[in-house]
Every structure is written in structure tokens, then in C-alpha cells.
Amino acid sequence: APLNEEFFQKCRAEFYDCPKNVLAQNVCTRIDPFDACLSRKTLENTQHVFTYKIENEGKPLTNQKSSGRCWLFAALNCIRIPFIKQYNLDEFEFSQAYLFYWDKIERANYFLNNVVETAKRGEAVDGRLVSFLLSDPTCDGGQWDMLVNLINKHGVMPKKCFPESYSCEASTRMNSVIKSKLREYAKDLRQLVADGATDEEITEKIRKQMNEIYNVVGICLGIPPEKFTWECYDKSKKYLTIGPIRPIDFYEKYVKPYFNVDDKVCLVTDPRSSNLYGRSYTVDCLGNVVGGRPVLYNNQPVELLLDLVTKALKFGEPVWFGCEVNKRFAGKQGIEDLNIHDFKLVFGVDIQTTMDKADRLLYGESMMTHAMVFTGVSVDPNSQKPTKFRVENSWGEDRGEKGYLIMSADWFKEFVFEVVVDRSIVSQDVLDVFDLPPIVLPAWDPMGTLAK
């Protein structure tokens, strides 16, 4: 039924009859409504002190700026910790721009191959799948398996040897150029398939299209050198030089012995009744390297993820993870806590946690949006269960404790969806799940949104 004037008059009268509504209105029309909801008591009870903390956290604190490269920053922040320790460095960054460059190239090619595959499947251009793919042909986000594809194919290099560019730090303009061309190319490729072109003819067409994409990306990001020489001083002021060397050889010889991406496994927790624990899943059309490893999710209860993250941190190993960062999050203070906001006090209604995790996924209220790194944990002295975590973010030093956030274990249970740990601490029965044929989730499933 339509809303009528009688309804509006009733709502208006009831609103102004409540002094609390008037007070909340006076406050929230002058400041950020979420700041008005901050719980003073929770702020008082939050301290950035932890039972276990990574011995040598990486420096400097990184900043992805106006880009969606959190997954790359988080991964490289993990990898640099044992690298810094091994080579006795005071501070170090791997080049995020280098992997960003190769992801743009590889992902464009992956998209074009998806266009061909879906056309051969008989998917309509205005059907849900193709429409979804065309809505965002390239983006900045990604998943752990996509990072593994990039490193195993292209290696890594120090940031000094391939620094940031404007379009690394603010990717919107570059992405708009690439997206425009990819949609144009998609039309041409679908027409070739419809006309019965051979695989060789289609491959040749993609090669010509990718040559143009290569030029666009190279203009915006620069083109990484085939070989580089890296020079630095360690903590004792000893001079160190490596190179000339290819990035893949740099990874194999100087990085992989201390952080092997193939030794890590990705576990997710998806409590929807349709997605059973102890099963493997993948997402249709999700990936970045043609012929690379697929994105695989090993679905497990959240309690197992909590235990494994705690175990890894006790061993001094950082943990990459994916979460929904902006729910129950005090940005300036860097606090992820279910009690950090009292929305009901201000608005008369609660939000964000009124449905359980499974229902939030089903109704579009939750999804993975950000990747960061666990570097510390506090445990209850009696139960030894985790109570809070220290989190290295990639938004600069302005939030939290010089860029580090604090997360309660209860927040973890609600808003963390994915962790990456060393396979050595995972039981064999959980590892065996990776050998099961994966169940394919639709391309638009919320478990794939970190790659958007």
C-alpha cells in the first residue's frame, strides 16, 4: 500500500515527542552519525597489548592509497617479515606495483578467455553471468590463489626497483580505459564465436587485443625491467647487492626458502546451510592467470580458523586474511569490536548484527571486502582461547596504533571469512578436502567479492 499523509503525520509527531530523538538529531546533523554511536566504555577497555606478537613486524607501514590492492599489500607484508629477518634489514617493501602490473595484464587476458568460454557455453550476453562479467571486466581486488599465480609465474622484486606510479595509487582512470576496451573486445569475440571462427582465429584476435592492453597498462604503470639490481645496507650498515637478476629468480633464490607461497593453504568459513563444512568450493569465472591454479576454498568452522591463526601467531608467523572490514569498526581508533558502536542508543534500532552470519551472506548484508595481516594475539590465561588480535593494515599510519588495528575474537567470528596459514599446522583430514572435486559457486557469490 502507498504511504499516505496520515502515516507521515503520525511518524512526525512520534519522532518529536521523543526527547532522545531530538538529541540524536541535534548531534547527528553536526557530526558523523557513526562517531556519535561510539561506545566510550569500549574505548576505555581497549588496549593495544598482546600476549604474543610477531618479533619483527615489517617497516615501513604501507599505504595502498586510492586503490583496491589490499590483497597484494597484505600478502607482501606477510612475505617481507621473514625476508627482513633473514637479511637483517631495518625496513623493506616488495614492489606492490610490480604484481599490480602483472595482475592487470594477466587478468585482462583471463577476462577475454572467459568471454570466449561463456559464449561457447551458450550464455546470452544479457543473461546474468555475462552481464555480471561485463559489469566489471577488470578491478583491483584479488584472492590468495591469484597472488600465488602471479608470484609463481612472474616472481617479486624490491619496491626500490619498481616504485609506485600515479595509477597504482589512484587506479580509477586507468581501469576506466581498460574496462572500455575489454567490453568492446568482448563484443568482437562473441561475434567470432557466433560466426564459427576457429580456436586459432580467436586466439590470434585475443593476442592483438592484448597488445593494446599491454600498451595501456605500460603507459599508466610503467613496464617492469626484465632484470634488476638491488642495493641496500643492513642493520649493521653492511652493504648488500643482488643482481642483475630476473624477478622470478629473485623469488626462487632469495625469498622462497623463507616464504614459499605453495606451502600456504587458504581456509574459509561460510556458514550458509547450502555450503557444507569439510567441502571445497570455487567460484565460476574467478581467477587471473589462464592455465594457473584455480581459486579454491576449503570450508571449515570459524572455530578452526581461530585456532589455526592463534597457533601460527604463537609460532611467530604472520597470517593473511580476508574480512568485511567496515562493520562495527571505529576507523580512527582502529578498533574492530562488536560493542564499539551502540546504534540502538542513537537510532532506536540496531544494525549489522541483527542477522546471523549465514543470513547476512544470503541477504547481501555481508561479504569479503578487505585483506590484512594478523601479527599478534592475546589468549585467555585459563582456556588459552584467543580474545583479541593485532592487525597490520595498509592504509597508512593515521588509523589505530600507527596503522595497526585491534580486533576482538567475537568480531573475528562474525566478519572474518578467510585465512591463509602454513600447511604444516593443518591436520591431514582438513588438507584432504583440497583433493575433493570443488563445488562451483556462481560468479556473483559473496565469497568471491574480495576479488572485486
What are the catalytic residues? 70, 370, 393
Find where cell 557469490 sits.
Answer: 445
Rounded Cα gap, residues 295 and 367, in angstroms: 17
Q: How far is CA 126 from CA 194, 285, 408, in A?
A: 15, 17, 44
Task: Determine the Cα–Cα distance for residues 234 and 89; give it in Å rounded to an integer.
Answer: 5
Strands 319-323 and 416-422, how do they pair? Answer: antiparallel
Kind of pairing, strands 319-323 and 52-53? unpaired
Q: Euclidean distance between the first and final Cα of the chain, in Å?
A: 38
How wide is the angle at C-alpha 345 spanned by C-alphas 344 and 351, nearest 5°? 20
Q: Which residues make Cβ contacts (< 8 Å) with residue 395, sequence separation at least 6? A: 63, 64, 403
What is the three-state SS of the chain? CCCCHHHHHHHHHHHHHCHHHHHHHHHHCCCCHHHHCECHHHHHCCCCCCCEECCCCCCCCCECCECCCHHHHHHHHHHHHHHHHHCCCCCCCECHHHHHHHHHHHHHHHHHHHHHHHHHHCCCCCCHHHHHHHHCCCCCCCCHHHHHHHHHHHCCCEHHHCCCCHHHHECHHHHHHHHHHHHHHHHHHHHHHHCCCCHHHHHHHHHHHHHHHHHHHHHHHCCCCCCEEEEEECCCCCEEEEEEECHHHHHHHHHCCCCCHHHEEEEECCCCCCCCCCEEEEECCCCCCCCCCCCCEEECCHHHHHHHHHHHHHCCCCEEEEECCCCCEECCCCEECCCCECHHHHHCCCCCCCCCHHHHHHCCCCCCCEEEEEEEEEECCCCCCEEEEEEECCECCCCCECCEEEEEHHHHHHHEEEEEEEHHHCCHHHHHHHHCCCEEECCCCHHHHHHC
Reference 394, options 347, 334, 450; nearest CA is 334
